[in-house]
Amino acid sequence: MNDKADFTKGSITKKLVGFMLPILAALVLQSMYSAIDLLIVGRFGSSEGISGVSTGASILQLFTFMVVSLTTGVTVLMGQYLGNGEPSKIGRLLGNAIVFFLALSVFLSVLMIALARPVAILMQAPPEALDSTVIYIRICGAGFVFVVFYNFISCIFRGMGNSRLPLLFVAIACVVNIMGDLVFVYLLKMNVAGAALATILSQAISVMISFFVIRKQDLAFKITRKDLGFGPEVSLFFKIGAPLALQDILTNVTFLAICAFVNKLGLEASSGYGVSQRIVGFVMLIPAAIIQSMSSFVAQNVGAGDEKRAKNAMKTGMIIGIIIGIPVLFMTFFGGSILASFFTENEAYIGRAAEYLRGFAPDAVITSILFSFYGYFNGHSRSTFVMVQGIIQSFLIRLPVSYFMSIRPDASLAYIGCAAPLATFCGIIICIFYYFYINRRSNSITFEKQETKQQT
């Protein structure tokens, strides 16, 4: 590793911020995919197309987040191997991962194409937007292999401590996506189908370019033909990534359920909620960048045996998230209408979007605290706990509160939005207790080992 990619020494703040900023920039551009789709369909497509893209993108997001969670297992193992000074193990790890993610992408593509209509109906998509939702899901499902391998390639570079190349790949994809949206939606009048085609085409071009760049890199490891297969490394990264993937699936199921609750309130609420979710996607970029960078940062220090540095990295991530999150909170709470107006000119949709954002706004700050805990636990391969507490806060807090608020007379999206920060706060409380538990246990084990050594 070069000095920038070595997280086991040097200034924590400088290295964490330097690693996190390209990740954040990449996430900003990546979030622009569905946001641009929604914006251009809202401006040049049909009114029901907004709901179709919103609901379809939520379903696509469910599968994408599952894949990202599985790749986290690869990222953590790479970081630990590098921290241990064992880069030779990485070739076999990545060879096994390539075969696994190829098989997974084929399976998920078939699933999305076959179940597009039943899932759209289950999501209670408004009748006038049902066909648009189905079209979006099926087109994105047909090209889902490119979505999978974009995220897999990004995880490889993050595991190596390189967050700049994934930024380059997503920047290229974003430019292609904007051009595709303008051609397919604005010029060819393909509405939702054009937005979906532009998304998949941009991912495909990004993956092809990234493969070319990888071949030109001077890497510390090699992937041979013998490494390709379902070897023992699959079980290792799957053990870390599977709990996170299950958590993301179940968590996003709750978000899909909330989307269904809102869809029952009519097209106006559905479209307003869809617009608000694009804004929420941008608000959550800081926490998302923190958890991705934290997992790699902590994993290297765990591999190097420097627990104190791992803890300080977690605390640094929290401070960074709070400092940035406070102005974002105020902007989201007071400026929701302005933000929503970028995506639609419909005053009713804008009002409903701003309504939801007022309830959601506190999450802009407290999610960074929760995700810093997540990154710390993931770097220690304690992803099972992350899964369990995520399920608790989603199914015992967020989902019941959202449902209760949605069935009230004259249901307000602001009250539905409050369910998110309430669930996050409960997650933080659980993480605090677990953090002190594992550190107390770790100190006890260390003391026992020292006692045994002295007696010997």
Query: Tell me, what amino acid is at 111?
Result: L
Is the separation of the CB atoms in 58 and 64 below 8 Å?
Answer: no
Is the pLDDT at 48 greater than 80, yes or no? no
- Assess if residue 453 is contained within a domain: no
Query: Tell me, what amino acid is at 24?
Result: L
Q: List, as own/partner pairs, every contact residues 215-224 make where C-beta atoms lie below 8 angstroms and the sequence separation is at least 24, other chains included.
A: 219/160, 220/1, 220/87, 220/90, 221/87, 221/88, 221/90, 221/91, 221/94, 222/91, 223/91, 223/94, 223/95, 223/98, 224/91, 224/95
How many domains does the structure of the chain reveal? 1
- Assess if residue 61 is contained within a domain: yes
pLDDT bin (cut points 50, 70, 90) of residue 47 is low
> For all residues of the chain together, what is the average pLDDT?
82
The pLDDT score that the predictor gives to residue 446 is 43
- Assess if residue 452 is contained within a domain: no
Of 43, 339, 322, 356, the closest CA to residue 181 belongs to 43
Of 303, 344, 262, the closest CA to residue 38 belongs to 344
Of the chain, the percentage scoring pLDDT greater than 70 comes to 93
pLDDT bin (cut points 50, 70, 90) of residue 370 is very high
Supply the range of the domain harboring residue 381. Answer: 12-447
- Assess if residue 265 is contained within a domain: yes
115-164: pLDDT as tens digits: 888 888 877 777 777 888 888 899 988 999 998 988 888 887 777 777 77
- Assess if residue 334 is contained within a domain: yes
pLDDT bin (cut points 50, 70, 90) of residue 107 is very high
The pLDDT score that the predictor gives to residue 449 is 44
- Assess if residue 373 is contained within a domain: yes
Determine how many CB atoms are found less than 10 A away from the CB of residue 309.
18
322-363: pLDDT as tens digits: 999 999 999 999 988 888 887 777 888 888 888 889 989 999
- 3-class SS of residue 411: coil
What sign has the CA pseudo-torsion 78, 84, 90, 94?
negative
- Assess if residue 304 is contained within a domain: yes
- Report angle CA 378, 384, 387 to the nearest 5 degrees: 90
Average pLDDT over residues 17-41: 77
- Assess if residue 456 is contained within a domain: no
The residue with greater pLDDT, 81 or 111, is 111
Is the pLDDT at 428 greater than 90, yes or no? yes
Say what angle helices 307-334 and 347-360 make with each other, to 10 degrees. 140
The pLDDT score that the predictor gives to residue 151 is 84
pLDDT bin (cut points 50, 70, 90) of residue 169 is confident
